Amino acid sequence: MRDFLKKWPVIFTLFCGVVPQQAAAAASPWQETDGARLRIVAEPARPGATDLRGMLQIELEPGWKTYWREPGAAGIPPQISLGDDAAATVTIHYPAPEWHDDPYGSWAGYAQPVSLPLTFAAPADGWPASLTASVFLGICRDVCVPVSMDFDVPIDKKKSNAMQTLLIDTAFSALPASDSDRLSIADAAWTPDGALEIRLHRAASDTDPQLFVSAGSNRPFKKPVLVSDDGETALFHVEPVFDPAKAGELTLVVTARHGVDAVEKSVTVSSP
Protein backbone atom coordinates (compact mmCIF):
# COMPACT_ATOMS: atom_id res chain seq x y z
CA MET A 1 0.00 0.00 0.00
CA ARG A 2 2.87 2.37 0.91
CA ASP A 3 4.54 1.67 -2.46
CA PHE A 4 1.29 2.45 -4.27
CA LEU A 5 0.93 5.76 -2.43
CA LYS A 6 4.47 6.68 -3.44
CA LYS A 7 3.59 5.99 -7.08
CA TRP A 8 0.19 7.74 -6.91
CA PRO A 9 1.45 11.28 -7.76
CA VAL A 10 3.03 9.91 -10.93
CA ILE A 11 -0.10 7.94 -11.85
CA PHE A 12 -2.30 10.98 -11.15
CA THR A 13 -0.08 13.23 -13.27
CA LEU A 14 -0.17 10.80 -16.18
CA PHE A 15 -3.93 10.42 -15.84
CA CYS A 16 -4.51 14.17 -15.82
CA GLY A 17 -2.21 14.61 -18.77
CA VAL A 18 -4.07 12.09 -20.87
CA VAL A 19 -7.75 12.15 -19.95
CA PRO A 20 -8.55 15.87 -20.44
CA GLN A 21 -7.00 15.74 -23.92
CA GLN A 22 -9.05 12.66 -24.77
CA ALA A 23 -12.25 14.19 -23.43
CA ALA A 24 -11.80 17.34 -25.55
CA ALA A 25 -10.50 15.79 -28.79
CA ALA A 26 -13.05 15.38 -31.58
CA ALA A 27 -15.84 16.64 -29.35
CA SER A 28 -17.71 19.91 -29.17
CA PRO A 29 -17.95 21.68 -25.81
CA TRP A 30 -20.95 20.73 -23.69
CA GLN A 31 -23.92 23.06 -23.99
CA GLU A 32 -26.57 23.24 -21.28
CA THR A 33 -30.32 23.82 -21.33
CA ASP A 34 -33.12 23.22 -18.86
CA GLY A 35 -33.01 19.54 -17.96
CA ALA A 36 -30.04 18.46 -20.04
CA ARG A 37 -26.62 19.09 -21.51
CA LEU A 38 -25.58 18.10 -25.04
CA ARG A 39 -22.50 17.73 -27.19
CA ILE A 40 -21.47 16.11 -30.47
CA VAL A 41 -18.56 13.67 -30.65
CA ALA A 42 -17.02 12.64 -33.98
CA GLU A 43 -14.16 10.39 -34.97
CA PRO A 44 -11.27 11.89 -36.94
CA ALA A 45 -11.68 12.18 -40.71
CA ARG A 46 -9.36 9.80 -42.52
CA PRO A 47 -7.88 10.71 -45.93
CA GLY A 48 -10.08 9.21 -48.63
CA ALA A 49 -12.89 8.26 -46.21
CA THR A 50 -16.36 8.96 -47.60
CA ASP A 51 -18.05 8.97 -44.22
CA LEU A 52 -17.29 9.10 -40.53
CA ARG A 53 -19.12 8.18 -37.37
CA GLY A 54 -20.22 10.39 -34.54
CA MET A 55 -22.91 10.76 -31.93
CA LEU A 56 -25.18 13.32 -30.31
CA GLN A 57 -24.72 12.81 -26.58
CA ILE A 58 -27.76 13.89 -24.52
CA GLU A 59 -27.26 13.86 -20.76
CA LEU A 60 -30.78 14.16 -19.34
CA GLU A 61 -31.42 15.18 -15.76
CA PRO A 62 -33.78 12.95 -13.69
CA GLY A 63 -37.42 13.50 -14.66
CA TRP A 64 -36.62 14.91 -18.11
CA LYS A 65 -37.12 13.24 -21.49
CA THR A 66 -36.46 13.51 -25.20
CA TYR A 67 -37.97 11.84 -28.26
CA TRP A 68 -37.49 9.10 -30.85
CA ARG A 69 -37.73 9.73 -34.62
CA GLU A 70 -41.55 9.42 -34.39
CA PRO A 71 -42.50 10.79 -30.96
CA GLY A 72 -46.24 10.05 -30.98
CA ALA A 73 -49.16 12.44 -30.62
CA ALA A 74 -46.94 15.28 -29.37
CA GLY A 75 -43.23 15.89 -29.29
CA ILE A 76 -40.29 17.11 -31.32
CA PRO A 77 -38.06 14.54 -33.02
CA PRO A 78 -34.34 15.34 -33.17
CA GLN A 79 -33.16 17.21 -36.27
CA ILE A 80 -29.60 18.06 -37.33
CA SER A 81 -28.50 20.30 -40.18
CA LEU A 82 -24.93 21.00 -41.27
CA GLY A 83 -23.21 24.21 -42.26
CA ASP A 84 -22.22 24.84 -45.87
CA ASP A 85 -18.56 24.13 -45.13
CA ALA A 86 -19.27 20.81 -43.44
CA ALA A 87 -20.23 17.34 -44.62
CA ALA A 88 -22.93 17.05 -47.26
CA THR A 89 -25.34 15.01 -45.16
CA VAL A 90 -25.81 13.59 -41.70
CA THR A 91 -27.94 10.58 -40.77
CA ILE A 92 -29.31 10.12 -37.26
CA HIS A 93 -29.61 6.56 -35.94
CA TYR A 94 -31.79 5.66 -32.98
CA PRO A 95 -31.54 3.08 -30.21
CA ALA A 96 -34.86 1.40 -29.49
CA PRO A 97 -37.05 3.79 -27.47
CA GLU A 98 -39.72 3.00 -24.89
CA TRP A 99 -43.38 3.94 -24.78
CA HIS A 100 -44.35 6.30 -21.98
CA ASP A 101 -47.81 7.45 -20.93
CA ASP A 102 -48.40 10.75 -19.17
CA PRO A 103 -51.35 13.16 -18.76
CA TYR A 104 -50.59 14.65 -22.18
CA GLY A 105 -50.69 11.36 -24.08
CA SER A 106 -48.37 8.56 -25.15
CA TRP A 107 -44.90 9.26 -26.47
CA ALA A 108 -41.95 7.24 -27.74
CA GLY A 109 -38.53 8.26 -26.58
CA TYR A 110 -35.97 8.26 -23.82
CA ALA A 111 -36.25 9.13 -20.14
CA GLN A 112 -32.58 8.38 -19.41
CA PRO A 113 -29.34 9.80 -20.86
CA VAL A 114 -29.01 8.65 -24.47
CA SER A 115 -26.49 8.88 -27.30
CA LEU A 116 -27.83 9.05 -30.86
CA PRO A 117 -25.28 7.66 -33.33
CA LEU A 118 -24.56 9.83 -36.37
CA THR A 119 -23.10 9.12 -39.80
CA PHE A 120 -21.58 12.07 -41.64
CA ALA A 121 -21.03 11.95 -45.42
CA ALA A 122 -18.07 13.75 -46.96
CA PRO A 123 -18.62 16.78 -49.21
CA ALA A 124 -17.30 16.69 -52.75
CA ASP A 125 -14.23 18.81 -51.93
CA GLY A 126 -13.16 16.73 -48.93
CA TRP A 127 -13.46 17.01 -45.18
CA PRO A 128 -13.20 20.41 -43.49
CA ALA A 129 -11.18 20.92 -40.31
CA SER A 130 -14.39 20.86 -38.27
CA LEU A 131 -18.07 20.05 -38.61
CA THR A 132 -20.61 22.79 -37.92
CA ALA A 133 -23.95 21.31 -36.89
CA SER A 134 -27.25 22.85 -35.79
CA VAL A 135 -29.39 20.66 -33.53
CA PHE A 136 -33.11 21.10 -32.89
CA LEU A 137 -35.00 18.80 -30.54
CA GLY A 138 -37.41 18.72 -27.61
CA ILE A 139 -36.27 18.39 -24.01
CA CYS A 140 -39.32 18.01 -21.81
CA ARG A 141 -40.53 17.63 -18.27
CA ASP A 142 -44.04 18.90 -17.56
CA VAL A 143 -43.77 21.18 -20.58
CA CYS A 144 -41.76 20.54 -23.72
CA VAL A 145 -38.97 23.03 -24.38
CA PRO A 146 -37.80 23.35 -28.00
CA VAL A 147 -34.00 23.43 -27.93
CA SER A 148 -31.81 24.85 -30.70
CA MET A 149 -28.02 24.64 -30.41
CA ASP A 150 -25.03 25.05 -32.72
CA PHE A 151 -21.96 22.85 -32.35
CA ASP A 152 -18.48 22.97 -33.81
CA VAL A 153 -16.71 19.61 -33.80
CA PRO A 154 -13.02 19.28 -34.76
CA ILE A 155 -12.37 16.29 -37.02
CA ASP A 156 -8.82 17.02 -38.26
CA LYS A 157 -7.05 15.13 -35.48
CA LYS A 158 -4.24 13.02 -36.89
CA LYS A 159 -4.57 10.30 -34.29
CA SER A 160 -7.54 8.25 -33.17
CA ASN A 161 -8.72 8.92 -29.66
CA ALA A 162 -9.40 5.79 -27.63
CA MET A 163 -11.92 7.39 -25.27
CA GLN A 164 -13.96 9.03 -28.03
CA THR A 165 -13.83 5.87 -30.15
CA LEU A 166 -15.13 3.83 -27.21
CA LEU A 167 -18.04 6.23 -26.71
CA ILE A 168 -18.97 6.05 -30.39
CA ASP A 169 -18.56 2.26 -30.52
CA THR A 170 -20.86 1.95 -27.49
CA ALA A 171 -23.49 4.19 -29.08
CA PHE A 172 -23.51 2.18 -32.31
CA SER A 173 -23.56 -1.15 -30.46
CA ALA A 174 -26.78 -0.04 -28.70
CA LEU A 175 -28.69 0.20 -32.00
CA PRO A 176 -31.41 -2.38 -32.75
CA ALA A 177 -30.16 -5.49 -34.50
CA SER A 178 -31.57 -7.37 -37.45
CA ASP A 179 -34.15 -10.11 -36.92
CA SER A 180 -33.04 -12.93 -34.65
CA ASP A 181 -34.40 -16.22 -33.32
CA ARG A 182 -35.47 -14.40 -30.16
CA LEU A 183 -37.27 -11.48 -31.83
CA SER A 184 -38.23 -10.75 -35.43
CA ILE A 185 -40.59 -8.53 -37.40
CA ALA A 186 -42.60 -10.87 -39.62
CA ASP A 187 -44.84 -8.79 -41.88
CA ALA A 188 -46.96 -5.64 -42.19
CA ALA A 189 -50.22 -5.06 -44.12
CA TRP A 190 -53.30 -2.86 -44.03
CA THR A 191 -56.50 -4.22 -42.49
CA PRO A 192 -59.93 -3.61 -44.10
CA ASP A 193 -60.70 -0.92 -41.49
CA GLY A 194 -57.56 1.09 -42.32
CA ALA A 195 -55.17 0.02 -39.55
CA LEU A 196 -51.67 -1.27 -40.10
CA GLU A 197 -51.26 -4.85 -38.89
CA ILE A 198 -47.76 -5.93 -37.86
CA ARG A 199 -46.79 -9.38 -36.65
CA LEU A 200 -43.80 -10.18 -34.41
CA HIS A 201 -42.23 -13.52 -33.53
CA ARG A 202 -40.74 -13.51 -30.06
CA ALA A 203 -39.18 -15.72 -27.44
CA ALA A 204 -41.41 -16.82 -24.58
CA SER A 205 -41.50 -14.31 -21.73
CA ASP A 206 -43.80 -12.85 -19.08
CA THR A 207 -43.40 -9.35 -20.52
CA ASP A 208 -45.18 -7.86 -23.53
CA PRO A 209 -43.19 -6.65 -26.53
CA GLN A 210 -43.28 -3.00 -27.60
CA LEU A 211 -43.62 -1.77 -31.18
CA PHE A 212 -42.69 1.55 -32.81
CA VAL A 213 -43.54 2.66 -36.36
CA SER A 214 -42.34 5.65 -38.36
CA ALA A 215 -43.27 6.67 -41.90
CA GLY A 216 -41.89 10.22 -41.74
CA SER A 217 -42.95 13.31 -39.84
CA ASN A 218 -45.92 14.05 -42.12
CA ARG A 219 -47.41 10.55 -41.75
CA PRO A 220 -47.66 9.88 -38.00
CA PHE A 221 -49.17 6.84 -36.32
CA LYS A 222 -50.83 6.40 -32.94
CA LYS A 223 -49.34 4.14 -30.31
CA PRO A 224 -49.51 0.50 -31.52
CA VAL A 225 -52.08 -1.69 -29.78
CA LEU A 226 -51.27 -5.30 -28.93
CA VAL A 227 -54.38 -7.21 -30.06
CA SER A 228 -53.20 -10.78 -29.56
CA ASP A 229 -50.21 -12.69 -28.23
CA ASP A 230 -49.96 -16.46 -27.88
CA GLY A 231 -46.50 -16.37 -26.28
CA GLU A 232 -44.68 -16.82 -29.59
CA THR A 233 -46.44 -14.49 -32.04
CA ALA A 234 -47.60 -10.99 -31.14
CA LEU A 235 -50.05 -9.10 -33.38
CA PHE A 236 -50.24 -5.29 -33.30
CA HIS A 237 -52.68 -2.86 -34.90
CA VAL A 238 -51.38 0.65 -35.58
CA GLU A 239 -53.81 3.43 -36.47
CA PRO A 240 -52.53 6.08 -38.89
CA VAL A 241 -53.18 9.78 -38.29
CA PHE A 242 -53.49 10.33 -42.05
CA ASP A 243 -55.40 8.82 -44.95
CA PRO A 244 -53.40 5.76 -46.06
CA ALA A 245 -55.36 5.58 -49.33
CA LYS A 246 -53.82 8.91 -50.33
CA ALA A 247 -50.33 8.14 -49.13
CA GLY A 248 -49.42 5.60 -51.81
CA GLU A 249 -46.66 3.13 -51.15
CA LEU A 250 -45.01 3.68 -47.76
CA THR A 251 -41.56 2.75 -46.53
CA LEU A 252 -41.78 2.21 -42.78
CA VAL A 253 -39.13 2.00 -40.11
CA VAL A 254 -40.45 -0.66 -37.73
CA THR A 255 -38.69 -1.13 -34.40
CA ALA A 256 -39.56 -3.74 -31.78
CA ARG A 257 -38.21 -4.36 -28.32
CA HIS A 258 -38.82 -7.23 -25.93
CA GLY A 259 -36.81 -7.32 -22.73
CA VAL A 260 -33.15 -6.86 -23.64
CA ASP A 261 -33.77 -7.65 -27.33
CA ALA A 262 -34.39 -4.95 -29.92
CA VAL A 263 -34.70 -5.26 -33.70
CA GLU A 264 -35.42 -2.87 -36.55
CA LYS A 265 -36.46 -3.36 -40.15
CA SER A 266 -37.41 -1.25 -43.14
CA VAL A 267 -40.79 -2.45 -44.43
CA THR A 268 -42.62 -1.36 -47.57
CA VAL A 269 -46.43 -1.46 -47.67
CA SER A 270 -48.64 -0.65 -50.65
CA SER A 271 -51.62 1.70 -50.48
CA PRO A 272 -54.78 -0.10 -49.20
11 Cβ contact list (under 8 Å, min separation 6): none
Q: What pLDDT score does 159 carry?
A: 59
Q: What pLDDT score does 1 carry?
A: 41
Nearest to 70, CA basis, from 200, 210, 212: 212
Please list the residues that pair with 233 across neighbouring strands: 201
Q: Is the pLDDT of residue 9 over 50?
A: no
Phi first, then psi: what are they for 172, rounded to 5°? -70, -35
Relative to beta strand 144-154, strand 210-214 is unpaired
For 9-21, what is the mean pLDDT? 37
Judged by DSSP in three states, 180 sits in coil
Q: Which of 15-19, 49-53, 154-158 has the lowest mean pLDDT?
A: 15-19
pLDDT in tens, 171-230: 999 999 999 999 999 999 999 999 999 999 999 888 999 999 999 878 999 999 999 999
Q: Is the pLDDT of residue 53 over 60?
A: yes
Query: 144-179: string of b/e by CB count within 10 Å (b at 16+)?
Result: beebebebebbbeeeeebebbbebbeebbebebeee
pLDDT in tens, 64-83: 999 999 887 668 899 999 88
Judged by DSSP in three states, 7 sits in helix
